[in-house]
Structure 1
Amino acid sequence: MFSLGSKTINSPVQLVFYICIALLAFAGNSILCRLALADSSIDATSFTLIRLMSGAVMLCFILLLKGNIKQLKTKGSWPASLALFIYAAGFSYAYIELDTGVGALILFACVQITMLIISWYYGARLTLIESLGVFVAFAGFIYLVSPGVNSPSILGVTLMACAGIAWGCYSIIGSRSATPLIDTSSNFLRASLICLLLVPMLFIDTNQLEVMGVVYALASGMLTSGVGYAIWYKVLPHIRSSVAAVLQLSVPAIAAIGGLLLLDELLTLKMLMSSGAILGGIGLVIYGKQQEAK
């Protein structure tokens, strides 16, 4: 039985199990969104709204079980909620244009680059290994989006890059939180409100809303977002931050495999080479930070 208290992880087997579930959930967001939009069973705006609202409901339910629901009023922030909304909206609209693995890779790269730039702005300086990692990752990103037969859509890349930048900013804000699960729940509620207010502006003429699209959006909000984040916050106290960062390198790969199996998407040589450079470069940055900490 899944328990929400972090003290219930009392064996390496449990820890590995929860880590695997969390990483599958993160990759699942990309797979579910792509599944919904690929068969046109839902439009991007509806997917975003349902994902945010159902995620908020699930997170609040988890807090209710934990007895922390009353703290929602004093937690979270509007800047973080706006960043969360921009991420969710950009993510949904980008997957109209992008394959699952490509989208996840662009998102992940932009999140990490954004966090590095913000850290650098506030005084952190990169070591030689970290600088090399940034160069390799950025070169891989440029190669991925460079013109060619298998190049991703410029619009899709731009939207997913905006989503990644927003999630990077959200992560920086969240890194200062003493109660990340409560803050995330509050931010999901606020982001849902922002989305509701902006729905008239976001809707386009080609809206669709079918049963399977709603199911995909609910699964993305309640399971891969709500439960996924709850499990991840359960795991984090038991692993080092550098290990958590390395583990997340697997998310684009899992998403790409999901796209290959469920959507018959292709893994091109360009995708594989750019993935190796981006993930390898970010791995170097993480390794450099770990060595610097020692």
Structure 2
Amino acid sequence: MTAFPLRLFLVTALAMTAFAANSVLARLAMATGEAGPWTFTLLRIVSGAVVLGVIASPVRAIQSGSWASGLALFVYAAAFSIAYLTLATGTGALILFALVQITMIGWGLASGERLSAQRWVGLTLAFAGLIWLLLPGLEAPPLQGAALMAIAGVAWGVYSLRGRGQSQPTAQTAGNFLRAGVIVLALSVPAFLIIDEATPSWPGIGYALASGAVTSGLGYAIWYAALRDLSASLAGIAQLTVPAIAAVGGVVFLSEPLTVRFLLATALILSGVALASLVRRKPQQ
């Protein structure tokens, strides 16, 4: 691809904004108590399954996807929602994004892939940024929330690894959302009995439905449309913008401060991930 047309730029920007909006919507629901994490997860997955099922067709959704990917999707969504009970919007997105990339690169290492010096430097920078972000102090995020978001990131990394190379990604995603919906519905009765979550408000329901139907369901469909014309490096660069967009959303919609620790950690993590992810793989020998 020799040019980056305006239409492709706008579609890509829209997809990245949708992904970042998931963090904003979850934090809006959790910080204000408009919806609890289980209700948010339930409504998000089910509404996302409905929208993607309509886009891909219900028959193709049923025939596509896998239960393992559906389980990984459910773990990601549940841990993501619970983490945002305590994490700031940008911090949560940053931890999520870093762990997704680290998981995927780590799987390559475990599979025998040999990394270049540039990728090792990138991984070291990313880990240093995470350590800096999580070091004890007044500006450190709550450890429990950070751990849960790390679990969400690993789960999403596993989900992404399982979906690599799919010829029909939208149909596969629809099938995975459908299976995750079955899982979350099956667990809902015991979950609500155990956690005794308050009834969500109408705004809380709206946040969850928007996260599922719009910024997840439509967001993924838009992203897969953009991916057809994006090189791997441009796709990776685009995803680097998600934590920054989420942080801006947190400032605008939740009046969250941008701390020095967060800004430094963001610079280290995103620089490291860029170095580690946006270079050609070294051939195995």
Cα distance in structure 1, aligned partners of 2:5 and 2:278? 23
Q: Which moved more, 1:118-127 or 1:17-26?
A: 118-127
The answer to whether structure 1 residue 25 and structure 2 residue 18 are counterparts is: yes
* Other structure's SS at 1:37 match: helix
The answer to whether structure 1 residue 260 and structure 2 residue 260 are counterparts is: no
1:124 counterpart letter in structure 2:
E
* Other structure's SS at 2:278 match: helix
The answer to whether structure 1 residue 214 and structure 2 residue 214 are counterparts is: no
Please name the residue that 1:88 is paired with. Answer: 77
Indicate conservation of the 8 Å contact 1:40/1:208, yes or no. Answer: no
Cα distance in structure 2, aligned partners of 1:55 and 1:127? 39
Please name the residue that 2:34 is paired with. Answer: 41
Please name the residue that 1:116 is paired with. Answer: 105
- Structure 1 61/98 Cα, relative in aligned 2: closer, same or farther at 3 Å? same
2:13 counterpart letter in structure 1:
C
The answer to whether structure 1 residue 12 and structure 2 residue 5 are counterparts is: yes
* Other structure's SS at 2:42 match: helix
The answer to whether structure 1 residue 269 and structure 2 residue 224 are counterparts is: no
Cα distance in structure 2, aligned partners of 1:255 and 1:11? 24
The answer to whether structure 1 residue 191 and structure 2 residue 184 are counterparts is: no
Cα distance in structure 2, aligned partners of 1:103 and 1:289? 29
The answer to whether structure 1 residue 143 and structure 2 residue 132 are counterparts is: yes
- Partner of residue 130 from structure 1, selected from 105, 110, 119: 119
The answer to whether structure 1 residue 180 and structure 2 residue 169 are counterparts is: yes
Report the count of equivalent residues: 279
Cα distance in structure 2, aligned partners of 1:145 and 1:252? 16
Indicate conservation of the 8 Å contact 1:53/1:188, yes or no. Answer: yes
Please name the residue that 1:6 is paired with. Answer: none
What is the Cα deviation at residue 12 of structure 1?
1.1
What is the Cα deviation at residue 11 of structure 1?
8.2
Please name the residue that 1:168 is paired with. Answer: 157
Indicate conservation of the 8 Å contact 1:246/1:286, yes or no. Answer: no
1:40 counterpart letter in structure 2:
G
Q: Cα deviations across residues 174-200 of structure 1 (Å, max 9, x unaligned)? A: 103211110100110110110111123
Q: What's the TM-score once normalised by structure 2's chain length? A: 0.95
The answer to whether structure 1 residue 59 and structure 2 residue 48 are counterparts is: no
Indicate conservation of the 8 Å contact 1:136/1:278, yes or no. Answer: yes
* Other structure's SS at 2:280 match: helix
Identical amino acids, percent of aligned pairs: 46
Please name the residue that 2:237 is paired with. Answer: 246
Cα distance in structure 2, aligned partners of 1:288 and 1:186? 32
Cα distance in structure 2, aligned partners of 1:176 and 1:79? 17
Indicate conservation of the 8 Å contact 2:126/2:268, yes or no. Answer: yes
Q: Cα deviations across residues 234-263 of structure 1 (Å, max 9, x unaligned)? A: 010101112101110000000000001110
Please name the residue that 2:61 is paired with. Answer: 72
Q: What's the TM-score once normalised by structure 1's chain length? A: 0.92
Over aligned residue pairs, what C-alpha RMSD do you find? Answer: 1.5
What is the Cα deviation at residue 206 of structure 1?
3.8
Please name the residue that 1:5 is paired with. Answer: none
Q: Which moved more, 1:262-271 or 1:73-82?
A: 73-82
What is the Cα deviation at residue 74 of structure 1?
2.4
2:215 counterpart letter in structure 1:
T
Please name the residue that 2:143 is paired with. Answer: 154
Cα distance in structure 2, aligned partners of 1:87 and 1:11? 32
The answer to whether structure 1 residue 280 and structure 2 residue 271 are counterparts is: yes
Cα distance in structure 2, aligned partners of 1:179 and 1:36? 33
Indicate conservation of the 8 Å contact 1:143/1:274, yes or no. Answer: yes
Q: Which ranges of structure 1 fall in alignment gaps of 5 or more residues? A: 1-9
What is the Cα deviation at residue 70 of structure 1?
2.5
Indicate conservation of the 8 Å contact 1:130/1:289, yes or no. Answer: no
